[in-house]
Amino acid sequence: MDTNHFKEILLAEEKRLTEALAAEQSEATEEGNLAVETRDEVAEKFEDSDEREATHQTLENHLTEVRNALAKIGTGTYGKCEVCQEPIEIDRLEASPTAKTCKKHLSDLNGH
């Protein structure tokens, strides 16, 4: 398997996610510095930050998966199903480079 191809995709994804998290961080800090607000505005902000928290979590989870996949490339175990140890279908990896299982075991591990 051409792991270099997937390594490039994963490294690009890692960069994108790291930047998204950093951008989000600075945005949150700026808002935290804003002073005096009406009660309604504060309530709205809370809802906003709930959503942001969810997005943040999604980004972080994805980043963890990308890094796990990169670590597997390093150890030569990338692209193997974690259930049956068979190679994962290339088209599945193309669609989801962080896939951990083959198509047959898609539902055995949660995720992807």
The residues that touch Zn ion, with contacts defined as CB under 5 A, are 81, 83-84, 102, 105
Judged by beta carbon, residue 17 or residue 81, the one nearer Zn ion is 81
Identity of the residue, 70 or 81, whose beta carbon is nearer to Zn ion in the bound complex: 81
Q: How far is the CB of 78 from Zn ion (least distance, A)?
A: 15
93 and 7 Cβ atoms separated by less than 8 Å: no
Residue facing Zn ion at closest CB distance:
81
Interatomic CA distance for residues 20 and 15, integer angstroms: 9
CA end-to-end span of the chain: 21
Shortest separation between residue 17's beta carbon and Zn ion, angstroms: 27
SS3 19: helix
